[in-house]
Structures are given as C-alpha cells and as structure tokens.
Structure 1
C-alpha cells in the first residue's frame, strides 16, 4: 500500500512540538511566545497557599512540569525564534532516539492527543497529580474511558491504579502524564478499542 506524502514539507507543517527549556525559563518563554502570537501550552498548577504576617492568604501558580513547554508552530518558525529571539534561545527540541529518518526525528504530538491533554491539564485543581511519564505502572493496560460531565468533560484517558486508588490518567506517551484523582463512576463512559 502506498502512503500519501503531504504536499507541504514537514518543516513547514504546523505541529505540536514538546520543547525542553533550560534553566527553568518556561514562564518567560511563554510570555515571549504569547507576545508573538505563537500558540503554546504550559501546564500550570497551584501550590498550597500560605498566610503572610498580615494575615493575607497567598497562592503560587507554577509550571506543573519543569523545563517543558508545548509549541504549536512549524519547525522553521521555532528554529527562527531560537536563533533570533533572545527569550527563546533556551528552547531545545525533544528528539526520538529510535528514529531512523528525518521525518520523525523531532518529537511531535498529534493534535487530538494534545487537545485531550490540554483539556485536563488546563484545569488548575488539586484533583490533578502530574506523573513521571516513564514509570512502569503507566505501561500496564487499563480500560479506556471518556469523561461525560464536569470540569474534564470529553477528556479521554485510561483507568490506572496509582497510590492504591483507581484514577483516570491522560498521557502523552513518554513526555507528560496527569492523573485525575476523582471522577464519579457515573461520569465515565467506556471506550471500546
């Protein structure tokens, strides 16, 4: 069977690139990309709050996954930003060590998978636990589900046992994973594969 090659070279295609960021500059890069109208996603989370000496409550919102940002652009545009924009020069492409061709050497995330991950990770909530994407329990099979209601409506994930509890895990294989600590069973719809 012949595969159809896209008419646009891969370097010019708009794709989601997971990018490493050196020295914890995720927020500065996000601000620079937002200013340049380059679509990006930086998962954020709230740290537990504290009360200062005046009795004022405070909360920090920080990057949920250190040294990682997702950029939706062409490889040419990102390379141009890395070379000519001071704020973006600390960006590093993530690569596939098992690649044997130039077409899949740089890691990208399919649009549908990225939208699903963003649907969950954009909720700054104590119900989320960010996981190391390379731990063994993520490799165990689980039932695929879709969430039918609530803050995570339409998100798809896999039920996994984490910390002795069943959780819905949404994962970008090898890059990022987030577990939802509680979803009522009535909101879960099984997905047949």
Structure 2
C-alpha cells in the first residue's frame, strides 16, 4: 500500500460555512499557559508528541488558499511544532488499490508554541509575498474580547485536551473520517459520548446522524467539525467530565 501526499486542486468552501471574518490586530495572549498531556500512541502512525511544555499553547492560524503544505514547511523550518490533519483516501490506479493523503482542512494549520513565538513568526516579512497576501495569519476567537482592548478579539487558542482528542481522531487512517458542515448534522438528543471500542476508542464527541449513519462528531471550534465513520450504539457511552 502506497501513501502519497497531494494538495487538493480546490478548497471546499462548505467546510467553513458561516465562518466570521477575522478582526484584528490581536490583543496580547500572554498569561494563557498550558500543560499538555502526553499522547503515548497515535493510531495511524502519525507522530505528534505532546509533552508538558511551559507556556506553549495550540494556536489556530489561517492559511491562504492552496498553500497549506508551504505553510507547514515554513513553520517547521522555524523550529516550531505544528499539526496539519490529513484525509486518507482510497483510489484505484492501473488496477491497484492505493491510499493517498490530502489536507483535511486546507485553510488552517495548528501551531504549538508560546504567544511570543507565534507573534514573531507572523511578523516575518517572508510570509507576505506578491499582492501582500500573508501566508499565515491569526484566526481570532469571536466569542471573547481582549481585557485591555475590549473592541478586539484575541487569537483563538485550543485547549490541550480538545487538541489531543482532535489529533487522535484525525491521525486514524480511515477514509470515512470526514469534515462536515452544520447543515449536514442532525444531533441525536445532543448526547456527548466517549467511544469505548474499535479503532475510534477513547474519542470524545457528540452523537450525530450524517449521511444516513450514526457517527460521533468532534467540534474543535466553530466551523471546524470532523466526523468519525459509523459507530454502533453499543460501542459508546455517555461522557462524564471528571
């Protein structure tokens, strides 16, 4: 079985249905610290090692259209940890079954670093090519306001537990893991569950009916929703936060 990473020819705008425009400039996000738990094993062979990391946080950065691979290369060249979720897709070529990969969410990259390092990264002049279109920019938290600048939104930061759950799901080599929009979803009683068996074991999310199947939906933030493949009822239980 052969893995080939490719960039999709077009971005699916439906993935970001109803996504608000960013507001800026951002306010300082210093003071928000994280203690990222370790992921000892990621299914699917994707290696993302989260260890206690002082003042590092998971920032969501927007990437200009069609440049997710370039953005990942740029961030890694700066010595920063980042995560680009991939979609595993089965194709047949010359009578042989192959697995190819492409970015699951082509407009976002997740960077694990301190607020200062991310600010420094985005100030790099090399991310602004012709036409002054920045390669990377902050995605802002439209549910919050800055303490010192109440008319501005802070950069969106994802909690370690939510990011670990998202990484665990999107690291699984299953072509039926899909991004969805709110219009595709019919929540079943709003149940929040944890999967107890199978390849999606320990994934947390909400039960939803998508494409005629019962699945578990993981929502990382507004506009970023990813669904598992089919999950039987006896392979999940209500999630109770400890």
Q: TM-score surpassing 0.5? A: yes
Moved more, 59-68 or 97-106: 97-106
Asked if 2 retains the 8 angstrom alpha-carbon contact of 1:28 and 1:87, the reply is no
Q: Partner residue of 2:100?
A: 60
**1:9: which partner in 2?**
31
CA RMSD for the aligned pairs? 2.9
Point out the structure with the larger helix share: 1
1:21 Cα deviation from its structure 2 partner: 0.3
Taking the aligned partners of 1:125 and 1:15, their CA distance within structure 2 comes to: 28
What do residues 45-68 of structure 1 show as CA deviations (whole Å, max 9, x unaligned)? 12342415xx56554311011211
Structure 1 residues 153-162 or 29-38, which shifts more? 29-38
Gaps of 5+ in 2: 1-29, 34-53, 129-133
The counterpart of 1:108, out of the listed 130, 153, 157, is 157
Indicate yes or no: 2:123 matched with 1:78: no
Q: Would you say the 8 A contact 2:85–2:105 is kept in 1?
A: yes
Kept in 2: contact 1:17–1:72 (CA 8 A): yes
Displacement of 1:158 in angstroms is 0.9
In the alignment, structure 1 segments of 5+ residues that lack a partner are: 1-7
Match of 2:142 among 85, 91, 97: 97
State the TM-score, normalized to the length of structure 2. Answer: 0.65
The structure showing larger relative contact order (alpha-carbon pairs under 8 Å, at least 6 residues apart) is 2
How far, CA to CA, are the matches of 1:94 and 1:123 in structure 2? 26
SS in 1 for 2:119: helix
Q: Distance in 2 between matches of 1:163 and 1:56?
A: 28
Q: Could you tell me the TM-score, scaled by structure 1's length?
A: 0.79
